[in-house]
Structure 1
Amino acid sequence: MTVSEPGAAPLPEQATGLRSLLQVEDRGIEPLPLSEQTSRPAELFWIWLAGNISILGLPLGAWVVAGVLNFWQALLAGTVGAVGSFAIVGLISIAGQRGGAPSLTLSRATFGSLGNFGPTIVAILSRWGWETVNAVTAVFAILSIGTVLTGTALTPRNAVWLTVSAVLVFLALTLIVSGIGHHLLALFQQWATYIFGALTIIVLGFIITRVDWSAVANAEAGPASAVLIGIGTVAAGTGLAWANSGADLGRYQSPAASPGKLVFASAAGAGIPLVIMVGAGSLIAISNPQFDTDNPLSSIPELLPPWMSVPFLIAAFAGLLLSNNISVYSSGLTLLTLGIKTRRIVAVAIELVVSLIGSMVFLYLFDNFYDAFIGFITLLAIPLTAWVGVFLVDMLKRTTYDSDSLLDLSPRSRYWYTGGIEWRAMCAWLIGIAAGFIFRFPGLADSWITVNGLPWLVTLLVSSALYFLAGGARCAAGKDD
Structure 2
Amino acid sequence: MTTHPSERAGQPETRGIDLVSDEERVGRPRQLFAVWAAPNVSYLCLPVGASLILMGLSLPQAIGVILVGNLLWVCTGVVAAAGPAAGTSGSVISRAFFGIIGNKPVLIVTSWLLAPAFLALNWSAASVAGIGLAGQWGLPDSPALDAVMICLIAGVTVLVAIYGYATIVRLYTALSVLLTVVFVVVSGYVINAVDWSYAPADPLHGAALASAFGTGFALIGSTALSYTNSPDLARYLPRSSSITSIAGWTALGAYLPSAVFTSVGALAATSLDMADPQAALETLLPGWFVPVFVVAVIVNTIANTGMTAYSASLSVQSVWARVARIPAVLVIGAVGTAMTLYALLVFDFLDSVNTMLQLVVVITGPLMAVAVTDMALRRNRYDGARLLGEERGGPFWYRGGVHWPGLLALLAGGLVSLMWVSTTFFTGPLATMLGGVDLAIPAGMGVAALTYWATARALRTIVTDSPESLLPKDTILCTPTSS
**Does TM, normalized by the shorter one, top 0.5?**
yes
**So what's the TM-score if we normalise by structure 2?**
0.88
Q: How does 1:92-241 map to 2 (within 5 A)?
A: 92-124=79-111, 125-150=113-138, 158-215=141-198, 225=210, 226-236=212-222, 238-241=223-226
Report the residue type matching 1:423 in the other structure: W
User: 1:99-143 CA deviation, whole Å, 9 max, x = no partner?
Assistant: 111112111111111111122112212211111111122211111
In the alignment, is the contact (CA less than 8 A) between 1:122 and 1:380 conserved in 2?
no
Aligned to 1:7: none
Distance in 2 of aligned mates of 1:179 and 1:80: 35
Deviation at 1:71, TM superposition (A): 2.3
Does structure 2 retain, via aligned residues, the 8 Å contact 1:120–1:334? yes
| Aligned ranges 1:57-68 → 2 under 5 Å | 57-68=45-56
Q: Could you say which residue in structure 1 is the equivalent of 2:35?
A: 47
Report how far residue 29 of structure 1 moved.
1.0
Q: Which moved more, 1:351-360 or 1:295-304?
A: 295-304
Identity %: 24
1:89 partner SS: helix
**Structure 1 residue 218, shift from structure 2 partner:** 11
342-351 vs 84-93, which deviates more? 342-351
1:87 aligns with 2:74: yes
Q: Secondary structure at the match of 2:8?
A: helix
What is the aligned counterpart of 1:457 among 442, 446, 454?
Answer: 442
Shift of 1:264: 1.4
Matches of 1:342 and 1:351 in 2, distance apart?
12
Q: RMSD value over aligned CA atoms?
A: 2.5
**Which piece of structure 1 moves more, 207-216 or 163-172?**
207-216
Say whether 1:405 aligns with 2:393: no
- Give 2:259's aligned amino acid: V
Residue 304 of structure 1: how far off its partner (Å): 3.1
Shift of 1:219: 10
Corresponding residue number in structure 2 for 1:284: 268
| CA displacement 1:183-216 (0-9 Å, x = unmatched) | 0011111111222221221122222222222326
Compare 428-437 and 459-468 and name the one that shifted more.
428-437
Give the drift of 1:342: 2.1
* CA pair 320-91 structure 1, distance change in 2 beyond 3 A: same
Residues in 2 aligned to 1:68 and 1:360: alpha-carbon distance in whole angstroms: 34
**Measured at CA, do residues 322 and 13 of structure 1 come closer, stay the same or move farther in structure 2, by a change above 3 Å?**
closer
Is 2:371 the counterpart of 1:384? no
**1:445–1:451 CA contact under 8 A, matched in 2:** yes
Q: Quote the Cα distance in structure 2 between the aligned partners of 1:346 and 1:302.
A: 43
For residue 181 of structure 1, give the secondary structure of its aligned residue in structure 2: helix
Alpha-carbon spacing, 1:201–1:405, altered in 2? closer, same or farther (3 Å) = same
On the 8 A contact 2:143/2:345 being kept in 1, the answer is no
- CA distance in 2 between counterparts of 1:336 and 1:345 reads 10
- Equivalent AA in structure 2 for residue 279 of structure 1: S
Alignment of 1:360 with 2:341, yes or no, is: yes
Alpha-carbon distance, 1:36 to partner: 2.3
After TM superposition, the score normalised by the length of structure 1 is: 0.88
Counterpart of 1:418? 399
Shift of 1:385: 1.5
SS of residue paired to 1:372: helix
Could you tell me whether the CA contact under 8 Å between 1:111 and 1:422 is conserved in 2? yes
Q: State the Cα deviation string for residues 278-332 of structure 1 (Å, max 9, x = none).
A: 21111112234x421xx32333323434443322211211111111111111111
Please report how far the alpha carbon of residue 217 of structure 1 lies from its aligned counterpart in structure 2 after TM superposition: 11
| Structure 2: distance between partners of 1:38 and 1:452 | 46
Query: How far apart are residue 445 of structure 1 and its match?
Result: 4.5
Equivalent residues in 2 for 1:464-475, closer than 5 Å: 464-472=449-457, 474-475=461-462
How many residues get paired? Answer: 455
In structure 1, stretches of 5+ residues that fail to align are: 1-11
Deviation at 1:380, TM superposition (A): 3.0
Say if 1:300 and 1:442 are closer, same or farther in 2 by CA, change over 3 A: same
The 1:68–1:329 alpha-carbon spacing in structure 2 relative to 1, beyond 3 Å, is same
Contact 1:55–1:316, Cα closer than 8 Å, also in 2: yes
Q: 1:35 to 1:245 in 2, by over 3 A?
A: same
Distance 2:190 2:37 in 1: 21
Distance 1:207 1:109, change over 3 A: same
Post-superposition Cα deviations, 1:434-481, rounded to whole Å, max 9, x if no partner, equal 112234567434133x72221122111111101111135723225222
- Answer whether contact 1:62 1:282 (CA < 8 A) is retained: yes
Letter in 2 for 1:361: Y
**TM superposition shift of 1:69:** 2.4
